[in-house]
Every structure is written in structure tokens, then in C-alpha cells.
Amino acid sequence: MNGKSLRTIKDWPEEERPREKLLGRGAGALSDAELLALVLRTGTASAQVSAVDLARLLLDRFDTLQGIAGAAVAELCRIPGVGPAKAAELQAVFEIARRSEQRSWKPGERFTGSKAVFHHFQAELRDLKREVFLVVLLDNKNRLLRSPVRISEGSLTASIVHPREVFTAVVRESAAAVLFVHNHPSGDPAPSREDLEITSRLREAGELMGVRVLDHIIIGRGRYVSLADRGLMG
């Protein structure tokens, strides 16, 4: 490492320091590494690494801010200089960001279409590394009954997403209609053969029980697919 990289941020010219740059020019003027450095606050004295250097190590390891957002605490702590405290701070910041993006859908509010569902769930689901399958329970006027029910976590298969597990929640809440929502960690929301097969099985089970299956919405990174909008609900 050269002499410049060993300096702390306090040794930098004032106009180059992330905090001063933000205050003077706005947060949009900062690079991803500089924004992360403000969260991390300090680097590692023993290795003579600044907070910006540490932020760059994180970006090198996880490629993007989205990659860091989806990392587990254990993964973050494998970066030299990132302990449990810094990992917790990073996760807290990204969770705040997710919640700030999430559009509220309160019990009693109506289902208005797939786009609204996407905007409600995208921040929660887009950074997950495993597939999560949710059931949204609605009344006979398509109004939300309660918070979504998580049915499974992992690659979707018929054995994991079983009609019995799905419709147990439906019966318990006396739901008249349901929506299915799940994510694709790859970022591509195109439905797989398994997605279509599971949707067909669940729709048939719903018909037998007199429960309307309105849609299955697959969320990727910044995109989604609604099987109902595509005419794939059978």
C-alpha cells in the first residue's frame, strides 16, 4: 500500500472527506464507497485501513450495494475489519432503506392490481438469496385481511409449497380470495415450469374449496411478472 492509502480520512483535504462532501454538495455527490464509509465511520487502525478502504473491500467482495444488502451477518464479518457491530449497522441501514421504499398495504385496503402488489413487496423480497413464498389473504371484496403468511423458504417445489399448508391459513382466516407472491433471487422474474405447476395445483385446490385464486406475482430485481396479467392462471 502506498503512503496515501495509509492515511486516515481526517488526513484528507476537507473537500474530499465524505461527511464534508455530503454536507456541502448533497448525498448524491458521494460514491457508493463514500456513502458506506459514513455508515462504517472508522476503518481498522491495526491494518491502517480507512473507512473508505473498508467500504471498497465490501464492494469488491459483494459487487454492489444490493449485494451487501443481501449479505448475512456472518458473510459481512468475513471481511477483515468488519465485526458484528459494523455488520449490524450495515444491516440496520439497509433495512431502513427497504422499509422506506415499502408502500403500506393495511388490513381493510383493497387489492387493486399486480403493480401495487409489486410496489408493496419488492423492497422486502428483492435482496433475498432464497425464494420465499407468501400467501396474501383477502375477503370477499378483495380487501386485505392480515399480514401475508410465509409458507416456505427455499427453491419452490410441489413438496415445499403444498396446498395443505397454503389453505390451512386460508381456512383459519376465513379468506374468500388469495394472492400468491414469491421472489426469484436471480433477479429474473420469468416464471419457471415449477412456478406454473405449483400455481395450477393451488388454483385447482382453491376451486374445490370455493376460494378465488386471483394471481401469482413473481418479483425480481426491479421487475415482476403477474401470471394473471399474462393469462397464465388457467
The pLDDT value recorded for residue 2 is: 45
The pLDDT value recorded for residue 85 is: 92
**Terminal CA-to-CA distance of the chain, rounded, Å?**
62
What is the rounded distance in angstroms from the CA atom of residue 163 to the CA atom of residue 203?
Answer: 9
| DSSP assignment of 95-109 | HHHHHHHPPP--TTP
The pLDDT value recorded for residue 203 is: 94
Instruction: Read off the pLDDT band of 142 (50, 70, 90).
Output: very high
pLDDT one-digit tens code per residue, 121-140: 988 888 788 899 999 999 99
What's the mean per-residue pLDDT of the chain? 86
Phi, psi of 13 (to 5 degrees): -55, 140
What is the rounded distance in angstroms from the CA atom of residue 73 to the CA atom of residue 90?
Answer: 9
Q: What percent of the chain is modeled with pLDDT above 70?
A: 87
Report whether pLDDT(5) > 80.
no
pLDDT one-digit tens code per residue, 164-189: 888 998 999 999 999 999 999 888 99
Per 3-state DSSP, what percentage of the chain is helix, strand, and coil (rounded to 5)? 45, 15, 40
The pLDDT value recorded for residue 104 is: 67
Q: Which helix (H) or strand (E) covers residue 19, if one does?
A: helix 18-25
pLDDT one-digit tens code per residue, 25-65: 888 888 999 999 998 988 876 667 888 889 999 999 999 88
Report whether pLDDT(3) > 80.
no
The pLDDT value recorded for residue 145 is: 94
What totals of helices (H) and strands (E) does the chain contain, helices first?
9, 5
101-107 average pLDDT score = 72
Q: What percent of the chain is modeled with pLDDT above 90?
A: 48
| C-alpha closest to that of 83 among 73, 70, 96, 72 | 73
pLDDT one-digit tens code per residue, 201-230: 999 999 999 999 999 999 998 899 999 999
This prediction's pTM: 0.63
Report whether pLDDT(1) > 70.
no
The pLDDT value recorded for residue 84 is: 93
What is the rounded distance in angstroms from the CA atom of residue 139 to the CA atom of residue 159?
Answer: 27
Domains and CATH numbers, the chain: 4-101 (1.10.150.20), 114-226 (3.40.140.10)
The pLDDT value recorded for residue 102 is: 64
Instruction: Read off the pLDDT band of 8 (50, 70, 90).
Output: low
144-172 average pLDDT score = 81
